[in-house]
Chains A and B, each alone.
Chain A
Amino acid sequence: MKKINRCKVRMYRAGTGDCFLLKFYAGTRRKFTMLIDGGVWQGSKEYLTPFVENIKDATDGKIDLLVITHEHRDHVLMFDRCSEIFETFEIDQLWFGWTEDDGDPEVAAWKEKYGDKKKALSFAADRMNQLINDQSIRMSLAGNQAENEMYDAKVLFSDVVNGFSELHAAGFDGQKIYKGGLKGMEVVKKLKVNKVRYCRQGEIIKDIKNMEGVKFYVLGPPNMYQQVKKEHGKEGESYDHNKDLEVNDLFSLSVLKDELEPLKDDILPFDREFVIENDQMGKECFSVSNSQIRYEDPMKEWRRIDHDWLYSSGNLALRMNSLTNNLSLALAIEFEESKKVMLFPGDAEFGSWESWHKIKWHQGELKTEDLLNQTVFYKVAHHLSHNGTAASLGLEMMNHSDLVAMATLDFTNISNGWKSTMPNRKIVKELLKRTKGRLILLNDEEVYSDFEERELISTVIEKEKARMNDAEKYEFDRDFDIPKSIKVKTKGQIIEKPLYYEYAVDGR
């Protein structure tokens, strides 16, 4: 049997988010199809259908392996919008990280706890929206110098929190279902497949039918629950850097409280005797008069803090985002003979990258560093954000001269707040250096390489490409394919663009 020695990586271009179709070849024969994620930040069923149809055409409706890296909207939304098409696929295997094994009691307990926070984030985001819509925020700032700028800053904050809320928790058909999984994820879990696998860090998966000569190394997710425990007790460790969600427990409690019900004991930080109930105010006004009069003084409304506490949701959002990113199923796919590696880390952040280096592979002397050294294709984690790619424990170990990278960043379809974190200039610079300009962006429109917005990233990439020698240039042009543009409908407009970019990884 001939061994697999080539892989065509197709990056779909629906918007910021991951959807990768991998077709593995032995010589010229296609032997195996694999889909990693099906997500995008935003898109209607109508807009996404041509993309999913394209997956179907390219695979003849048969996917040998479906991999879902983690539960974020920009990795699973297509399943939500185009569930009917996906249901017609013939899928052999479905892989998740071990943290999606809902039958595991530890996972279930975690999900319950995590679900509460998800709900709290959504509630807080809703509340912030509401306060902007009913003019409460505008009124609370009235009279201040620069009140408009202050208002804009609050709106931006709220938009970004709402963006994070949607990333984590979007319900069925516009209905808010907060606690459970994203709808896209639920759809995936209900798909008919022959085999489900929950991958564990340190596993080496081989001998897959029709995949002779290819090995999968499971890099992440780390054994998170243990890691959370470990993060305690470090001297001087700040709570802010701590990924422990417990810090937000009290916040969640109060966001989720029922406005109409009397306050329960667990929500109060003190014994009830110290708390003045609102309905007692009239009767016992003697005991509070001073504070209340001062707080409610109409001339001093600008000093009130009625809503400020809701902004703690920003902290919660970031913490949840990092946590979920670190749950990403991260895979190194190796061509056995040449040892060349394709790296698909999902959106793994530093914490996960760091843990990869502690893995004992029990395969000769193999270290994770070797896998990184051998990486010839890198799916850039977390859309080129700073946290997505570890420096000394990641990128700086990718020193193969054939390195090509794909990044799923698209400024025309992206969450609020992301534009200021992506792309990270340092990472772009380092990637350009290491790939000699072979950095393929999902969409380079409007993306600048510098903060001054003087030079488009595409210009810089072209410049860097000049560093390739003739052979490298020839090979890259040969292996990189841009199909012809197709009309797609988005937000009532028809635009034309290639549905995907494809790069053929030479595994020889």
Chain B
Amino acid sequence: MKTTSKRKPNFRKLRAYAFDPSLSLKLDTAEVNEIEYTLPWEDLEKGPVGSYIEVIDYDPTIDRYYEAVDLNEPYILVENGIRPSESNPKFHQQMVYAVAMTTIKNFEKALGRKVIWSTRLLSDTTLYEEYVEKLRIYPHALREPNAYYSPHKKAILFGYFRSKASSLDIQMPDAIVFTCLSHDIIAHEVTHAILDGIFRHYNEPTNPDVLAFHEAFADIVALFQHFTFPEVLKHQIARTRGNLKNQNLLGQLAQEFGSAIGGYGSLRDAIGKVNPKTKEWEPAIPNPQDYKRTMEPHVRGSILVAAIFDAFLSIYKNRVADLLRIATGGTGILPEGELHPDLVNRMAKEASKAAKHVLNMCIRALDYCPPVDITFGDYLRAIITADIDLIKNDDQEYRLAFIDAFRKRGIYPTGIKTLSIDSLKQKELDIKFHKSNQGRSFSSNIDMNDTTKEYMAILNKYLKEYGDDIKYVTERSEIYRITTEYIRGNYDNPSGLVQGLHQRWAITIEEPGTESLSEMTGLAFHPGFENLGIKTDDQFYFPRFSIQNLRLLSRVGPDGNLLNQVVFSIFQKSGVVMNMDGTIGHFIPEVDPVPPNGFVMYGGCTLLFDLDDNSLKYIISKPIIDVEKYRLDGKYEVDEDRVRAQYNFQFNEGLEERSLYSKYFGVGLNNNFNEPFAMLHNH
């Protein structure tokens, strides 16, 4: 019987560990450690190989392949996958697939668009880059307690190793530990890969926060993805009986998730620890000094993880307050004995819901982050702005919970005067173009000169065209193809000619002569840009810039409101030299040789364009020029604060604070030519 129009199922359910195998050995956690991951159905080849990932179980340490699982086998299908087992590599393949896909889907839901992996950069300068359809996963690639995402191979390599049990009651002594069986490690590494696909430059340590952010963000995703499984929470909540007011439970749980397999626990140490005297777990008291002093990416990252977790706890507390009042008749004291299962269910649901919300907020914020040189403060602003944009009515006070948690840890964004929702929200622009019978009309809530208006008009048209072209495209490779055409321009195909923004801008405006565009973006678009160490475009007399991360996104808010936006980043490089006398000089990157004490400073801005409104909403900038100075004196100079901060970090502070491993085996601060995440994890 052959039917081509067979209805496909909506979901594929796969069994896997909720944590990692160690918890299956403990009786009290065994039952919750096995959960079903529900994934959207996709056709799978043996491996499994799907549209986003390909699992290839080749073990180079012994030069052998392991049998690959066929998830379409009927017996496997009816049983929702292979039964969790450490000793069966086919289950390992199934688990990495299940967790990786769950992570990808969480991102797609929050971002309102498809996940596209970062391209492979080529030595061939005309081709420049190559589309990567599938992230590759090697479940058994190393023999060490580590796993890492390789940006060069677009692959995740998982290690395994023999361990003396870190605690004898949960691990067999001398057992082999597989990192590919830990939910947290898989989610962590996949997040690195997704983030690399969005912000390639977040591997560049330009300030102490950048690498810390990469690590912390990956951990935040792993942690909250965990909390979205109500089964896991239910069990734990039931166990605590009358101790419900003690919100430490979730903190302890969060930390236990991390520590089960060693190395990855360190990011959660800032949440709290077991008091050696009382043997009780206690949340850590945040110390604002930590953020000032600690430079090592993991310790620093742990501050961010703790801040987000703190926000989550406040949100959860707020959400269950009424339940507790009902259950205790307003006394706050629960009767003896076990909790009512309904109460347990409801509380677990609230925790899981809060976790989902926090996870979404954290991921969504990415589109509101500057494309380079991110700091934790920038991230806080991004979280708040993104949330306001989508959710108008914050009746549960989520935003305040975030602000409060960051404030307690001394994380403040630079350049704002007070710490409030309004000041944290990025300044909203409203630059609009209308086409009517009278021709084009223009409206804007900020002043700009005519040339800039011209630039903006071109930009608006460009983004609108892009939005229209891509609106109904769902195939990832097709999205990539069209987007790349818009970024680079497509001149080979006269019938489907697409002009890139470079051409549109450079051709229309013969002489770069706009002040406002520089002022708005913080990048050098003014005459005399060469003096700030900016390269001239190969074809036009125009400052070199690049466009990255051009994406269309459509998000649905809780009130059913729809957000259709085009987001993209403009990116510029300035060659900077720190002279012996403390003054700042310039060189042109890729043209001049890098002088001693010279380095490249990246500037960039993320722009958000609202398609429905036809208006440019936000420009989130890491400037190259000192905008303030320009406004005061009308002079274009490089942003000295940024130059000095980057210099101080890259030539001094940061070098000293590197891990021993990276000092010995790395090349300076930037290990992007090696395996940056392997270096980062070996701390």
Interface residues of A (CB under 8 A from B): 141-147, 149-150, 152-154, 156-157, 160-161, 232-240, 242, 244, 246-251, 254, 257, 263, 267-271, 274-278, 287-292, 294-295, 302-309, 311-312, 314-315, 318, 386-387, 417-418, 420-421, 424-426, 450-454
13 A-B pairs with C-beta separation under 8 A = A238-B263, A246-B174, A247-B161, A247-B162, A248-B143, A276-B64, A305-B157, A306-B60, A308-B141, A311-B675, A314-B664, A315-B144, A420-B663
Give every chain A residue within 8 A of B392 (Cβ-Cβ): none
Among the listed B60, B262, B678, which residue makes an inter-chain contact with A307, where contact means beta carbons less than 8 Å apart?
B60
B544 interface residue per 8 A CB criterion:
no
B660 touches A240 (CB 8 A): no
**Which among A274, A275, A306, A426 is the interface contact of B656 at CB below 8 angstroms?**
A426
Do residues A145 and B122 form an inter-chain contact, with CB atoms below 8 A? yes
Contacts of B159 in A (CB 8 A): 312
B139 to chain A, nearest CB (A): 11
Residues on the B chain within 8 Å of A274, using CB: 66-67, 88-90
Contact with A along B13-47 (1 / 0, CB 8 A): 00000000000000000000000000000000111
B635, CB-defined interface residue at 8 Å: no
- Pick the 5 closest A-B CB pairs, nearest first: A145-B121, A251-B143, A239-B262, A239-B145, A312-B144
Alpha-carbon gap, A153 to B679, bound state (A): 12
Q: What's the nearest-Cβ distance from chain A to residue B628, in Å?
A: 28
CB atoms of B652 and A450 under 8 A apart: yes
Please, which residue of chain B has its CB at the minimum distance from the CB of A154? Answer: B674
Contact B161 A250 (CB under 8 A): yes
Of A236, A250, A257, A278, chain B has the most CB atoms within 10 Å of the CB of A236
Q: How far is the CA of A454 from the CA of B579 in the complex (A)?
A: 11
Distance of A271 Cα from B67 Cα, bound (Å): 11
Chain A residues with CB under 8 A of B73: none
Chain B residues within 8 Å of A267, by CB: 62
Point out the residue from B64, B141, B178 that lies within 8 Å of A275, measured CB to CB.
Answer: B64
Do B47 and A291 touch across chains, with their CB atoms under 8 A apart? yes
Contact between chains at A246 and B163 (CB < 8 Å): yes
Describe A's contact surface by its main secondary structure. helix
Give bound CA distance, A453 to B61, whole Å: 42
Specify which of B56, B60, B124, B661 is in contact with A315 (CB 8 Å cutoff).
Answer: B661
The answer to whether A312 touches B143 (Cβ under 8 A) is yes
Asked if B152 is at the interface (CB within 8 A of a chain A CB), the reply is yes
**In B632-683, which residues have CB < 8 Å from any A CB?**
651-652, 655-656, 660-661, 663-667, 671, 673-675, 678, 681-683
Interface pick from B164-172, B320-328, B454-462, B600-608: B164-172
The yes or no answer to B209 lying at the interface (CB within 8 A) is no
**B166 contacts across to A, CB distance below 8 A:** 232-234, 237, 239
Most buried by B among A156, A263, A294, A417: A294
- Within the complex, what minimum Cβ distance (angstroms) separates B206 from chain A? 16
A288 & B656 in contact (Cβ 8 Å cutoff): no
* Residue contact B665 to A143, C-beta cutoff 8 Å: no
Q: A270-B87, A275-B64, A291-B46 known; A314 and B58 CB under 8 Å?
A: no
Chain B residues near A244: list those with CB within 8 A.
164
Find the residue from B68, B89, B140 having the highest chain A CB count within 10 A: B68
Interface centre among B157, B266, B663 (most CB of A within 10 A): B663
B301 to chain A, nearest CB (A): 14
In the assembled complex, B192 has its CB within 8 A of some CB on chain A: no
Given A240-B146, A291-B65: 6 more A-B contacts, CB < 8 Å = A142-B123, A144-B152, A235-B274, A238-B262, A276-B67, A303-B155
Chain A residues near B124 (CB-CB < 8 A): 143
Across the two chains, which residue of chain B brings its CB closest to A292?
B65
> A153 vs B143: C-alpha distance in the bound complex, in angstroms?
21
B580 interfacial contact with A, CB 8 Å: yes
Chain B contacts for A141, CB-based, 8 A: 152
Q: What's the Cα separation between A307 and B45 when bound, in Å?
A: 27
Alpha-carbon separation in the docked complex, A454 to B581 (Å): 11
Interface residue B54 (Cβ < 8 Å from any Cβ of A) = yes
| B263 and A278 within 8 A (CB) | no
Chain A residue with the shortest CB-CB distance to B136 = A303
Segment 139-194 of B: residues with Cβ below 8 Å from A: 140-146, 150, 152-155, 157, 159-168, 174, 176, 178
B124's nearest neighbour on chain A, judged by CB, is A143
**Minimum CB distance partner of B61 in chain A:** A254
User: Given the interface contacts A144-B122, A156-B667, A240-B682, does A294 sit within 8 Å of B49 by beta carbon?
Assistant: yes
A451-B651 contact given A239-B161, A318-B664, CB 8 Å threshold: yes
| Residues A143 and B122 in contact, CB atoms below 8 Å apart | yes
User: In the complex, A121→B296 CA distance in Å?
Assistant: 28
Question: Across the interface, which residues of B come within 8 angstroms of A232, CB to CB?
Answer: 164-166
Complex alpha-carbon distance, A290 and B54, angstroms: 10
A315 to chain B, nearest CB (A): 6
A156 neighbours in B (Cβ, 8 Å): 665, 667
Chain A residues lying within 8 Å of B477, measured Cβ to Cβ, are: none
Closest-CB distance, B579 to chain A (whole angstroms) = 11
Give the distance in Å from the alpha carbon of A161 to the alpha carbon of B655 in the complex.
Answer: 21
B548 on the interface (CB 8 Å rule)?
A: no
Q: Which of B121, B138, B258, B578 contacts A144, CB < 8 Å? A: B121
Interface: B269 (CB within 8 A):
yes
**Of residues 264 to 307 in B, which have CB atoms within 8 Å of A's CB atoms?**
264-266, 269, 273-274
A246 touches B162 (CB 8 A): yes
- Chain A CB count within 10 A is highest, among B258, B656, B665, B681, for B665
Q: Which of A305, A314, A454 contacts B661 (CB 8 A)?
A: A314
Chain A neighbourhood of B683, CB < 8 A: 240
Question: Once the chains bind, are A250 and B64 in contact (CB under 8 Å)?
Answer: no
> Is the C-beta of B255 less than 8 angstroms from some C-beta in chain A?
yes
List of A residues within 8 angstroms of B336 by Cβ:
none
**Shortest CB distance B490–A (Å):** 22
Q: State whether A302 touches B120 (Cβ < 8 A).
A: yes
Given known pairs A156-B667, A239-B262, the reply for A309 and B143 (CB within 8 Å) is: yes
**In whole angstroms, what is the CA distance A294 to B45 when docked?**
11
Complex interface: chain B residues within 8 A of A142 (CB): 123
A110 CA to B310 CA, complexed, in Å: 46
Interface centre among B57, B138, B164, B671 (most CB of A within 10 A): B164
Cβ–Cβ contact A249 & B162, under 8 A:
yes
Query: How many Å lie between the Cα of A302 and that of B89 in the bound state?
Result: 25
Question: Of B159, B174, B674, which is in contact with the most chain A CB atoms at under 10 Å from its CB?
Answer: B674
